[in-house]
Structure 1
Amino acid sequence: MANKSKWVMPKQHGAWAMLIIPFWLGAYAGGLSWVHVPLFIAWTALYLATYPLLMAVKTKRKEPYAPAARYGAIAAAGLAVSLWQQPALLYFGIAMVPFFLVNTYYSKKKNERAFWNDVAAIAAFCIGGLAAFYVGRGALAIEAFELALFSFLFFLGSTFYVKTMIREKKNARYKWLSWGYHALLIVGLIAIGEPFAVLAYAPSVIRAVYLYGKPLPIMKLGILEIANAAYFFIAMIVLYS
């Protein structure tokens, strides 16, 4: 049992896209720096540490604290280097605390699949993108907030869609929430003068409507979401090049 508990991997595979995409979009737009390497190591380790930590809160067992501490040690090393170069990164960490507290609350209630729990997690990941931008530029600019917002909107749409395909597939309310959200997203982007950004979300809108109600295996659903996330990432890179 000791070996099995040494390293614990999160089961929410979709969260990996949330971990990677906002961060590296921010890093690219802000300007790539060697500091992004230790920061991303710390960012990844912190994410890996939160899973067993929240599991401990949920189960009220002490075993998950051991892998959380191991990941935490890796995160501390990466953060030490990052903060030494950019002390202001501490403020981004503080900004994430309220969202982590929301995640802790839902874990304690054993309701991790709650919609607002997902929203809080997405927001925290997008703050990571702001931090990555800051590392490269030394300051935040309008592009940083645009990319964070674009990422937030993308993953919020993904949250609606996945719920309509798995846990809420028989809930007509979620279907209309998903379809309405994606429709308003496109209309809103055009209204604010971002027609090129529409292309980044086009596959998301199509799959939200076309695939709804189809009996897709979870594995295939996950693969399609990874492909869609990769497309969004590339589209945003092109848009900000």
Structure 2
Amino acid sequence: MPKTSHSPASVPGPPTGASPRRGRRRSLRDWTSTEPGAWSIVLFPSLAAWAATGPTWTSTWLVALWAVCYCVQFTASRWCKSRFRRRYLTPMLTYALILAAAGVPFLVLHPAILWWAPIYAVLCGVSLLASWMRRERSLWSNLAAVLASSAMAVVVAPFGSRCPAPSATDRLTWPVAPALFPGVGVEIAVSFALALFGSVLFVKTMIRERGRRGYLHASWTYHAVLVAVGFLCDVLYGVLALALFARAVALPLVARRRPVPVKAVGITESVMSLLMLVLIPLGA
């Protein structure tokens, strides 16, 4: 904040009680995600696998751990983006300690899940690098988030009641532990990855890349191919892809004639996310 020549007494202060309220709001924002729609991207693939494979205490535990992982991620991203300001350190360390306390017992009981550690280390590194560069809205950063969230369907699926769970003695290599990759989990993960990346393209055509023909044509082409692939695989996937294609075409056309509020885009994507959550497990 720029310095002035005024003395502290000569500068009018905020109304009584306003500063503490602002402080409390700022403190709360430090602990919560400022992107409500991100929660659906983060949790819906794992919740879809949790429901499709039969909920168990173990799979529920794992989904809860993934939610805490997201809390660690978004606070760590803010810390990196701010160039390590102390303000964001306490939330990050608190969430990390909660994750360690709840996660280490899970790893002791299910060590085979460590197969995923290198993959998620890379994806987390990409996310933090994007935050450091202040490119967290870039296409490559969004792709890393989509892959991390979608892959959780494969991570969660083996612990469902309808899948043979990997035993504690399983090795950490795929040929020895095929139970780590049940077909239903892979199918849900791929379906969400394709659908969510389409959402990334669509949102860019409506907000950050609005008016750029290249992004618009890429979005329309991608969604058209998604419709064809969807109906080839399953009618429910086709219906979902058709709904995604319709909104990807209609809203940008409407935006050419009248402003479309960001809130309307967010509501549309919330509806599409719920549609994914319902149709993808049913199709799998």
| TM-score (structure 2 length as normaliser) | 0.78
Where do 1:83-232 residues align within 5 Å?
83-136=107-160, 137=163, 138=165, 139=179, 140-191=181-232, 193-213=233-253, 214=255, 215-232=259-276
CA distance in 2, matches of 1:97, 1:223: 32
Percent of matched pairs sharing the same residue: 25
Instruction: Find the counterpart in structure 2 of residue 21 from structure 1.
Output: 44
Shift of 1:18: 1.4
Amino acid at match of 2:242: A
Q: Which runs of 5+ in 2 are unaligned?
A: 1-22, 166-178
Runs of 4+, deviation exceeding 4 Å: 1-4
| TM-score (structure 1 length as normaliser) | 0.91
Q: 1:170 to 1:129 in 2, by over 3 A?
A: same
CA distance in 2, matches of 1:226, 1:22: 14
**Greater C-alpha Rg:** 2
CA distance in 1, matches of 2:105, 2:50: 17
Q: Which runs of 5+ in 1 are unaligned?
A: none
Contact 2:219 2:248 in 1 (8 A): yes
Q: Could you give the per-residue CA deviations for residues 51-85 of structure 1, whole angstroms, max 9, x where no partner exists?
A: 12111111112321110111112222331343243
Q: 1:202 to 1:70 in 2, by over 3 A?
A: same
Structure 1 stretch displaced more, 195-204 or 142-151: 195-204
Shift of 1:3: 8.6
- CA RMSD after TM alignment: 1.9
Q: 1:86 to 1:106 in 2, by over 3 A?
A: same
Which of 39, 43, 64 is the aligned partner of 2:62? 39
CA distance in 1, matches of 2:53, 2:103: 19
User: Looking at both structures, which has the greater relative contact order when contacts are Cα pairs under 8 Å and sequence separation is at least 6?
Assistant: 1
Contact 1:42 1:75 in 2 (8 A): yes
Q: 1:141 to 1:38 in 2, by over 3 A?
A: closer
Amino acid at match of 1:207: R
